[in-house]
Amino acid sequence: MAVKKTKLNFIKKSNDNNESTIVIFQKNVAESFDETAVAWTVIKNPKQLINYSFLYPAHFKVQASDPDGNPTSAMTACEGQSFEMATDKSENILKLSSTPSISKKGVEIKNSLEAGAINGYALRDEKVLAAKNGIAPGQKAVFQFPPTIWVGAVSQVEEGDVMKSAVIQTINKELPLENLSSADIVMTGGGPGATSTPVTFNLENQKK
């Protein structure tokens, strides 16, 4: 049976006493993800040996906002599906398209309105995972996420913020979650003095 969601616990076992902010995000491999990414989950100034729990659902949802900024309902998306913003009885709605996504592993949001740009979003656990703004009529956003997360210690990042390439490039720890029902994300290293080691993140207590 496929895992529907992964329960994750973040635990700080680091000697780093700085008031660090832990950011967790995914990279949309269907786009130029080195340029921007959204801070999906943020843990501010974590305390030593305290569990910070959150869920990683296997499926993400899609949502859009119309040219006036009105958000649609979020819809669960599966690989290869395509959604479109269209007008139905004078109302702009997001609906499943009869035409599948060009990418078998990607999910598309197409702007099928006659006029006006829309914004497209991918959400996981009801939080924004990725976004594409200013999708013109006839254009589309494509979302595709491998079952991995990226974790790093940064500063001054809020949940939902769009992070620039300079921040993303400092985060190089990728953790695979495929087929895991639960795991601990453990932060180690850091601390003062010449003997200190770099801060790092690893998965422990992995359960299928």
| pLDDT > 90? residue 198 | no
Instruction: Measure the CA dihedral 16/21/24/30, to 10°.
Output: -120
Asked whether 94 and 73 are in contact (CB, 8 A), the reply is yes
* Terminal C-alpha separation, the chain: 11
Instruction: List pLDDT tens digits, range 8-18.
Output: 999 999 887 77
pLDDT category at 2 given cuts 50, 70, 90 is low
| pLDDT > 90? residue 170 | no
How many angstroms from the chain centroid is the CA of residue 27? Answer: 7
3-state helix, strand, coil in the chain (%, to 5): 0, 50, 45
Instruction: List pLDDT tens digits, range 23-71.
Output: 999 999 987 655 578 999 999 999 999 999 999 999 999 999 999 999 9
How many angstroms from the chain centroid is the CA of residue 35? Answer: 14
Tokens of 117: 């740009």
Question: In terms of pTM, does the model score above 0.95?
Answer: no
Instruction: List pLDDT tens digits, range 101-158.
Output: 988 899 999 999 999 999 999 999 999 999 999 999 999 999 999 999 999 999 889 9
For residue 192, what pLDDT is reported? Answer: 73
162 burial level (CB within 10 Å; 0-12, 13-18, 19+): middle
**Site of tokens 């006029």:** 115
Tokens of 44: 């501010």
For residue 165, what pLDDT is reported? Answer: 84
